[in-house]
Structure 1
Amino acid sequence: MAIQIPRGTQDILPSQVGTWELIENKAKEICHKYQYKEIRTPIFEHTELFHKSGETTDIVQKEMYSFKDRGDRDLTLRPEGTPAVVRSYVENKMYGDPNQPVKLFYNGPMFRYERPQAGRYRQFVQFGVEALGSQDPAIDAEVISLAMEVYQSLGLKHLKLVINSLGDKESRIAHREALIKHFKPRIHEFCADCQNRLEKNPLRILDCKKDRDHELMKSAPPIFEFFNEESKQYFDQVLAYLDALGIAYEVDPTLVRGLDYYNHTAFEIMSNAEGFGAITTLCGGGRYNGLVQEMGGPETPGMGFALSIERLIAALDAEGITLQTEAKVDCYVVALGDEAKIPAMVLLQQLRKAGYSADKDYLDRKMKAQLKAADRMKAKFVAILGEDEIKMNKVVVKNMENGEQVELSISNFISEFERLGR
């Protein structure tokens, strides 16, 4: 029996990689404009790291790929990027960097054991941004603006930004007590997860998919009723910045991010494209003041987001957007006869060293078949080299667009080829 790919994973084939590269390069280019620097953290971390960042989350409780190594250490394949970035921030004392806030981005595979479905995999690629060290609401707006620009730069139009505030610590404590009081008398009517969350993190009950239609969900006290003045002013400022930047949004008091460390701003970017599917969220993020301290660092505010490349590609498909990723070959070298094989290989290497994309036939095909291969590869030029051409120190170069042919000298091929234009 042939070995098959593990469930919940996918092969990204050569024909698809160009799309991935274009998306990732575009996101990196935008991050560089915003002065965010790339950080690369290990694919596995100590399991404790993720427990510190979200003990009551579904990710920690149900979805992590955890294992013991040969030294009996508990390790976990990273299910998300933020905890590892914050761990590195603390461990490498980035809070001492004179340039504050520290603005970082990451891109790489994440792992969650969940039921695979359209756009959701057990191994997936996450692109994320973290800004650490500023309590300014302008950073919240900047992070949201950056996320929106990534999607818009790729041509997506059916986007909806949904935003909420979870308030500061004081507001959340007051809201927590109200939620416990609200749900406790009838908590037995909810799923086992919600019953476990009641005392630990009742806010997570509002994010439950199983019990979302329960009548107590609709009547649950909203967080904004418990905002102190500071929380109100902070959220108002974030919205004012978004208004000034011309970024449309919808305030949703029921929006709750699925990770324990969020406070103040929380947001999601969704796709409104027809046929996109039931799960419309493309990107999620928010502010996480307190996570750095939890990791052993000084009191440091943070703001960030993470997006799935797989879901971004699904959104492009839903809107019928095809990214132009196919790279043309600048010159395809055709060798005719045994005597031309080595000179053709030398010519090919000269082209590549001069910065051209070039290829040749490796199957000893006839000239007609080689020209067909060049056409399939969308070669701009074909350089034909046979025994007669070698004797005359000539290379026949054909423009594949208009069919025109010229003869160039073998000894000065690159300098003469330059004149034909890339």
Structure 2
Amino acid sequence: MKYYSTNRQSPDMSFKEAVVKGLPQDKGLFFPEHVPALPAAFFEALPDMTLPEIAFEVLQPYTAPDITPEALKHICAEVFTFPIPLVKVEEDIYSLELFHGPTCAFKDVGARFMSRCLQAFAEPEKPVTVLVATSGDTGSAVANGFLGVENIEVVILYPEGGVSEIQEMQFTTLGQNIHAVAVAGTFDDCQHLVKQAFSDPVLTKEMQLSSANSINVARWLPQMVYYFHAWGQWRKHQPQAHADAVTFAVPSGNFGNLAAGVLARQMGLPVKFFIAATNLNKIVPAYLESGQYTPAPSVATIANAMDVGSPNNFPRIQETFGQAYEALTQVIKGYWTEDGPIKSTILEVQQNQGYLLDPHGAIGYMALKKELPDLKTAGIFLETAHPAKFKQTIDAILETDLPLPEQLQVFLHRKKQVSSIRNEFSELASLLQEQHRLHTAS
């Protein structure tokens, strides 16, 4: 498989080259040259397939020939070691729980897959610096996935004061090859600094940079797997339903997750609709209404992982639909809400259904409640993070003391190790050069 840039000003690259490079020089996004269609037999077998089996079948066309079938099977078996249950919340509404991994967030899947790929590709004489921006869960997932991996240094940029305390502890207390950098700015500022680094000729000549944001194909593509898995589990619940009578509501910030879902549909997954479910950062829902795509400064909300005013991955969604606005809007619907309704929904669902939502999953649930009567399908919303990652918010809403899962408790009493920079590229460049010098000298 070859990958081209969505801006079409950079040369095509192999899977290995695209993973190591992370971002094309023209600041586009890598996209597969073709989208393979899966056979009918795959969908017939899907309800009874394991997660590693699904992952192998879905990802093999995208990783060949750079990863052998034997190596890919081994990677999938290492990555998909935790359950991803589909839980019925109420009639025709299901939650896909993506928070049972080591950092309690959906990004564990992509981060673990990418770390194995990059480890396989890294050359001893060419250490790789993984540069990533996070609004919360990406940082912890990437830190966990890459911790202790030889020949790879990880630098995580995050907005100072812009992530929850537990999220921050998960990636600032690890040490080893994980370096946390607090930026005096927003998540969008962090993303912009990352893009500047990848297009800077001095940095790219001095060091081998890669990204672990969902802009990287090895982070993005494996997220397709749980859509196939969810559909298979839904068919077990609803064997008599029409195969495509399901809608996915996807809490969306950078839109990598939704981009993976629509690519899965392009491969043949029988999904009728997707809902781009957002908070006050409603750039994509506004685009779906007007046809005008207008990034804006991000707004802080209690669903902080979605506080993104310029979603990096949305061009991939447009590319999947051949840049055809009408085709895109026939499949993707938009929804957005404010903090107040999120809080009341978390309380009501806990009281009435006995199910605890996190702020992001709550937006997905609300989107289904609003749209399903018109769409006339069943609905699956993605629970992207464990509610305890937002303990302060949940405790205030429910007037409780939510216990932390074991995966989160281990970080509470560790010392933070953080560098701080202003929102200035020169400061980031100096920090990266110093980290690279220390690593190559050791």
TM bracket (short chain): under 0.3
TM-score, structure 2 normalization: 0.26
Of Structure 1 and Structure 2, the greater strand share is in: 1
TM-score, structure 1 normalization: 0.27
Of Structure 1 and Structure 2, the greater helix share is in: 2
* Structure label with greater radius of gyration: 1
Question: Which has the higher relative contact order, 1 or 2, with Cα contacts under 8 A spaced 6 or more apart?
Answer: 2
